[in-house]
Amino acid sequence: MKMHSHLSLLCAMVLVGGVATPTWGAISFSAPKKLKPQTVAITHYLDASNPDLRRALEIHNLLNEMPDIIDVIHTSNDLEKQKDLISKQMEAMTACNVSKIGDVFKNPQKVWGKMVDTYEGKRQVSNKNNESLVLTQSDRLNDSKASMLISRDIMLDVYKNPSKWGETNSGASFPLWQDQVVAYEKQWNDFYNRMNQAFGAPASGRPNVDEKTRQNSQKYETVLKAHKAYLQALQGKKKVAFNDLPPKAPDPLPEWKEIVYVDPDTKQVYPQMPDVWKDPAMRKALIEANPNGELAQVFEKGNTNVPTSSATVVSTSRLEQEYNMRLAVDSLEKGFASVDGTTNDMQKDFAQKLAAVGIHEENLNLANKGQYLKIQKKLKEEKKKAIAAAQRYIALLEKQDSEHPELVQKRQQLQSAKQSRLSENAQQALAQSDGIVQISQMSPAMQQKFVISALEKDSDALVRLTETNAMNVDQLIRERHASNKLIKESQKQMKTAYDSQVKVMPELTKCSLF
């Protein structure tokens, strides 16, 4: 008989009254034979002699593994999408920043790269100095201020000494702040009002130099030439000693959010005010005369010591933004490479496991929905067959127990003896494990029925089942449902964040964020 042949290989014998009798772990319907005494093998408390049950568990756990592989594949795809998006954002940000210095430098791309590399190098040194520190909130604020100072110093140097950073266009200069223009134009007009008064000339008289030229510190020689011509014209009408020179335009400043910060503790401008704001009287005059200027965006009208509610307390400079983008892209690239490698390893390992249960699939790719469903269907069919075969085996075990009560008694004695040999700690642990105690006191047939019941209950293979966790399958399924709910919510949030980033892309391209 086929089943008899299948089971006889697992037969263990115990000597009862000098006659070899099959133990509880095997089935035999042949007549008793006198054999030499053999040692009874005491195995795991759950009888593992049902190969079809083991196969059913193995197939079930392959089904359970498939969604996990898909999750890793999705994670890899999400990381790749994020990497591509952040890379495009960085490209748009770089293009925006390059365009802002393009009027001054002949090779703005190269200059901007030098600026970011300089910032990155200084930040790495700063980060290394803080590596061994457990940063408090105050330390983190100081670290943030250090980042601000690094960016501020670089930006100020580029705007003040452009030729140091790259070849400049002839006479080109960065634009002045509105506050700088207002303050400078006041100095310009005050100077020529005083000069005209000294010569008795009309107050409206000015040198023949346009506004754009006189507001460019790089073109001061042109301003002086126009001033000299104007002075000679006045001296031709009236001899007056006048040796003062007209005010030179201030050096241009980076955008105010690049160099102006409001200390969240003191509410003061940090780290120091630009020159154009240092005079309290000038600050007050600027806010009154230039309500759309930079100072008016930082302080309350009429009170230059109290920042407005809209003032930037912590601002991220363009250099810091691009540095952080570089770090993000690098991290995402490494993460994608790692997860992608894990995905490939998991699929290769899964293909080998499939082959071990008799399912051979060429070019396995579980991301292919058709292939995924085909494998899933085949595994479910094989699981069903294995369960049916295991149930037939259990029927034979139950038949043996009913026909040989002496074997049941012997098994119970052996189990009690085995438990008595356990250490005190092991016995205490066993006493606290109700499920294990219950299942250990069952017959092999009943134990295996619990496993099959768990396999059938978990029809969607939500849980990775073993012989020992089968009794807890209901709880494990509930926990997996709860876990899946959290995962879906997390994935939804990630998608929302990704969609939001996508919407920002056009704004980045238009340079409207800087």
- The DSSP result for 225-290, as a single string, is HHHHHHHHHHHTTS-----PPPPPPPPP---HHHH-EE-TTT--EES---GGG-SHHHHHHHHHH-
Q: What pLDDT shows up at residue 508? A: 60
How many domains are there within the chain? 1
Please report where in the chains the tokens 């005050």 appear, as a residue: 190
Q: pLDDT-based confidence at 143, cuts 50/70/90?
A: low
pLDDT average, residue stretch 425-453: 70
Distances (CA, A) of 165 to 114, 115, 399, 424: 8, 8, 92, 77
Q: pLDDT-based confidence at 115, cuts 50/70/90?
A: very high
Q: How many Å apart are CA 100 and CA 321, to the nearest integer?
A: 15
Tokens of 466: 């073993």
Q: pLDDT-based confidence at 478, cuts 50/70/90?
A: very high
Domain residues for 289?
273-314
Domain assignment present for residue 194? The answer is: no
Asked if the model's pLDDT at residue 438 lies above 90, the reply is: no
Domain assignment present for residue 96? The answer is: no
Q: What pLDDT shows up at residue 446? A: 87
Domain assignment present for residue 297? The answer is: yes
Domain assignment present for residue 306? The answer is: yes
Asked if the model's pLDDT at residue 312 lies above 80, the reply is: no
Q: What pLDDT shows up at residue 501? A: 78
Domain assignment present for residue 307? The answer is: yes
- Estimate the crossing angle of helix 51-101 against helix 318-356, to 10 degrees: 160
Asked if the model's pLDDT at residue 346 lies above 50, the reply is: yes
Q: How many Å apart are CA 332 and CA 79, to the nearest integer?
A: 6
Distance of alpha carbon 359 from the chain centroid? 37
Element (H, E) at 88: helix 51-101
Please report where in the chains the tokens 């940090």 appear, as a residue: 270
Distance of alpha carbon 299 from the chain centroid? 37
Q: What pLDDT shows up at residue 10? A: 30
Q: Residue 476: count other Cβ atoms within 10 Å of its Cβ.
A: 19
Q: What pLDDT shows up at residue 509? A: 59
Q: How many Å apart are CA 109 and CA 115, to the nearest integer?
A: 10
Q: What pLDDT shows up at residue 314? A: 54
